Amino acid sequence: MKASKHGFERSAGVLLPVSSLPSPYGIGNFGKDARLWVDFLNEAGQSYWQILPLSPTGKGDSPYQSFSAFAGNRFFIDFDSLCDEGLLKRDEYAGRRWSHFDKLVDYGLVYRGREQVLRKAFSRFKDEAALDDFIEKNPWFDHYSLYMVIKESQNMLPWMEWDEPLRNRQPEAIKKVRSEFSEDLRFNAFLQYQFHKQWGELRAYAKSKDIQIIGDIPIYVSLDSADVWENHHLFQLDDNNIPVEISGCPPDSFSKDGQLWGNPLYCWDAMADSGFEWWILRLKKSFELFDVLRLDHFRGLESYFAIPYGDKSAKTGYWKPGPGKAFIDVVEKTVPDASIIAEDLGFVTDAVRELLEYSTYPGMKIVQYAFDEHDIGDYIPYKYTANSVVYPGTHDNDTVKGWSKSAPHASIRQAMDYMGIRHRADIPRGMIRLAMQSSSNLAVISMQDWLELGTGARLNTPSTVGGNNWCWRMKKSALTSQLAEEIAGITKMYGRHK
């Protein structure tokens, strides 16, 4: 067993996606309200801000189904900052209606409106040297920009449905795209340049307030992405670029048919032959943006669930070996200072536990799972170890208040007995206290749970597309000094105050 170099000192943080931040423009962004949020975290004695992937959203507006594992989401670019640079006039964006809904993100409206405003800002941008420097320093950008420009010219069809010369990146076809769409390629460079510039400034502000940022890296990428378009050989595709098998997870107590995620699976042998070069580039890029990374679906590194393409449920899937310790060793050698949280939820075997121990990454504990009437597993709080990160629930769970109203009676009774409380209304704060007083060195509480919001504030329901997934937004009025004082008090009480 390797000696542990990962993990955290005893501390606390809050989970809140950038998209859920308040802003006047339909979706959270990197502007003034993000800085007010960082100020709130600092006042509340928190050490970490955990977010979801910052990549461009694709199918179902999910940050886990992105057009790129490397690019940033143009939705998060702050208009006011562009105005301060002289690239926009306030009346060009401030008077628009950015949402048809009171509290939710309207992705279609945001996409259409932002495109017009950002094009206007680009028309006034003159620092060509800055764009050239950005492109030179980010080798992933060229294929991403080509992919997006072609996709937009093809009415957003997935690359698998493009004409063969474009689908297979034939040199003459790509040369023609560069010639015909040179201005659009520069526009994409402008978007990524502004995204990275503004995020870098926000991250620096967070650092000045002693707040570290925990990013999130999905283990899989979308089939309809620049990553797969550029690297056919690294994925399990047939000669017609159709997946042979796709990702998902087997049936369990949460889903009798299992889950069909639909991502293409990696050719791990090809990845290993290259020294996992694509993955290492991805990790290094991520650590340019974040202080810590949550590695989604860690168990897929030990073995992954493969479902034949075209099947209607995950029942026909089976387990295949992942890259295991070889992957961990390469990461350790090439990204030696990587601070990684392993999302080790789901069907966990002794082999997965052994790989987690070998990696020395802290795993995750979900307090809601401690009160599953069928199987508490390792989630009951008295079993937690210091080298772990505890959450009452994650972005894939109902809020604690929502759980307290919908969970089976036996689970509710068990939770109340364990916490020593008599009233169901006390469950949200009780579960937060369970997490904060636990042995896990890092406790992360979702903002919805601090606000004691119900199911309507749930961020995502796994195995569903559409609805209100990924749409919840926090009201600006939620960030009160009284709440900050309460959070700071609880954090200090359990030895997590910075």
Positions marked active-site: 296, 343, 396
The CA-based dihedral angle spanning residues 447, 469, 291, 303, taken in that order and rounded to the nearest 10 degrees: 120
Separation of alpha carbons 299 and 350, rounded Å: 11
Return the exposure string of 155-190: e unless at least 16 CB atoms fall within 10 Å of the residue's CB, then b.
Answer: eeebbeebeeebbebeeebbeebeeebeebbbbbbb
Strands 245-249, 259-264: pairing is: antiparallel
- 429 close to 419: Cβ distance less than 8 angstroms: no
> What's 472's DSSP letter?
B
Output the six-digit token pair for 39. Answer: 């100020």
Separation of alpha carbons 294 and 215, rounded Å: 6
The contacts of residue 397 (CB under 8 Å, 6+ apart) are 366, 368, 403, 458
Separation of alpha carbons 169 and 181, rounded Å: 16
Strands 245-249, 303-308: pairing is: antiparallel
